[in-house]
Structure 1
Amino acid sequence: MDKAERDAALRTLRFLCEGTRLEGLTFYGLRLLLSESDNNSKRIDGQIYINIESPICLFKSMPKNIPVFNELPKMESIESLKIICELRLKQIVDVSLSIESPHLFLTFETGEVLFIWGQHDQYESWQVGVSDTAIGDEHWEVVACPNDSLAIWGADDIVRYT
């Protein structure tokens, strides 16, 4: 993941997620449904979502080090859902990515941090995007792709990918 790619992804993720609240989820895979925010409500009329295809962990505060994969808790899907349900209606106040791999950190107003593993050799680890948008033809999505890369779609004034 190069710096320009990471920076473009962070701008897009912050536009989509900061100020939103976790307001629901779906059970086919793990898809979090986020509310709109003051920051994006005039521009997005669809459902903001986060698809999680990899391990997660909830920290009481931002960890000093990035977790190691084999040290992440091994959870059944019901355990992951319980963690997500505990975050219901809490506001996301910060979004960050690790430097080398697209590990995603969502910081909530309580200080809790949802960590989503972002590394896989063959599959996407997570996706953040907007479905069913009715405003214009803008496509919003950030995808943690195999081999520590990102794919980013969004409006040029937000993404500014160079």
Structure 2
Amino acid sequence: MLHLIASLHAERITGVRIGKTAPHLFLTFSNGQTLVLNGSDTYYESWAIDIGLAPHRADATIVAVPGDELAVFSGIGEQVED
């Protein structure tokens, strides 16, 4: 797994999607490979991703939280309501 992640480090992300029944994160890379991050756990956050429009700045953070749910926070740390 470490080798796979290291080889994808230099690749550009060309697609991002979140599963419909559970918040699994699918990242598609320029070489055609897809990395799937499990988003389902009863007790722990599974993954978090920062979304930014400007380099080195997070405008929002999406977190896969317990119970197959997503939480979205603005860049100033406030939770965004549905």
TM-score, normalising length: structure 1: 0.41
SS at match of 1:96: strand
- The aligned residue for residue 153 of structure 1 is 73
* Distance apart, 1:119 and its partner CA: 0.3
Aligned pairs for 1:126-137 (under 5 A) are 126-129=47-50
* Distance apart, 1:134 and its partner CA: 7.9
- What is the count of residue pairs matched by the alignment? 75
Q: Deviations over 1:57-78 (max 9, x none)?
A: xxxxxxxxxxxxxxxxxxxxxx
Rounded Cα–Cα distance in structure 2 between residues aligned with 1:121 and 1:90: 32
TM-score, normalising length: structure 2: 0.77
Q: Deviations over 1:67-104 (max 9, x none)?
A: xxxxxxxxxxxxx2211001121000110111011000
Q: Which runs of 5+ in 2 are unaligned?
A: none
Aligned pairs for 1:13-162 (under 5 A) are 80-129=1-50, 140-154=60-74, 162=82
Letter in 2 for 1:92: I
Q: Which runs of 4+ in 1 moved over 6 A?
A: none
The structure, 1 or 2, with the larger RCO (C-alpha pairs under 8 Å, 6+ apart) is 1
SS at match of 1:90: coil
Residues 109 and 121 (structure 1), Cα distance of their counterparts in 2 relative to 1, 3 Å cut: same
Q: Which runs of 5+ in 1 are unaligned?
A: 1-79
Rounded Cα–Cα distance in structure 2 between residues aligned with 1:127 and 1:104: 10
Identity of aligned residues (%): 33
CA RMSD of aligned residues (A): 2.6
Rounded Cα–Cα distance in structure 1 between residues aligned with 2:56 and 2:11: 26
Letter in 1 for 2:33: E
More helix by percentage? 1
